[in-house]
Amino acid sequence: MAIYQYYLAFIPKIGLLKKHKIIPNRTEIGRDTGYFEANMDEYWQLAQIPFNEIKVGIDKIVDKADWGNDKDVFNWKTYEVELDNDASMSINYENENITEVSFRADLREPNLKFLNGMLELAKKYEMMLMDRKGNLLNPEFNEIKDFIKVSNAFKFIENPEKFIDDLHNEKINIE
């Protein structure tokens, strides 16, 4: 993940409601392996959402990647030197239901076209969004922007030298 990318994942509202009866502010993420683990499988399993419509929606926002696509994984990527947006979808091939959708928006993009397109898609399909800290967010830019502003991605874009110094001096934690 490039430092200027902001990670978000779709989580179906219906899966959250079936599990918790309400939409919580946060969900647990894992780091047992030393890597970020979204732990969203149960929400997608409870929701049972077919993949095709959301896949077609992402196809309209960003081009398919020319790598990593299989019968149960789809990847999208912007292939430009100055821009690095991407998305990924995993499905259960047997029942054709989604098991994960995540994306990384390049915060350097003028007007954040990709991010806004993904927010619209999330609204259309009644998804919540989860950041790398487990915060659950409505797909509204005005809600997400406050989380973006405190992210490492934004801090880097705002002042790369200060970011590197703060990282070196352990004032910033890796997300």
Residue 151: CB atoms within 10 Å? 19
Residue 61: CB atoms within 10 Å? 19
Is residue 174, in this structure, part of any structural domain at all?
A: no
Residue 67's domain comprises 5-168
Is residue 33, in this structure, part of any structural domain at all?
A: yes
Helix locations, 10-80, DSSP H: 13-20, 41-47, 52-61
> Exposure string (b/e) for 112-149, b if CB count within 10 Å is 16 or more?
bebbebbbebbeebebbbbbbebbbbbbeeeebeebbe
Six token digits for residue 100:
């994960």
Q: What's the rounded Cα separation, in Å, for the pair 175 and 159?
A: 17
Is residue 175, in this structure, part of any structural domain at all?
A: no
- pLDDT tens-digit profile of 109-155? 999 999 999 999 999 999 999 998 899 999 999 999 999 999 999 99
Q: What is the mean pLDDT of residues 23-28?
A: 88
CATH number for the domain including 70?
Answer: 3.30.310
Is residue 26, in this structure, part of any structural domain at all?
A: yes
The model scores a pTM over 0.75: yes
Task: Give the total number of structural domains in the chain.
Answer: 1
pLDDT band of 166, cuts 50, 70, 90: confident
pLDDT at 8 over 60: yes
**Contact call for residues 156 and 172 (beta carbons, < 8 A):** no
Q: What is the mean pLDDT of residues 80-100?
A: 94
Is residue 173, in this structure, part of any structural domain at all?
A: no
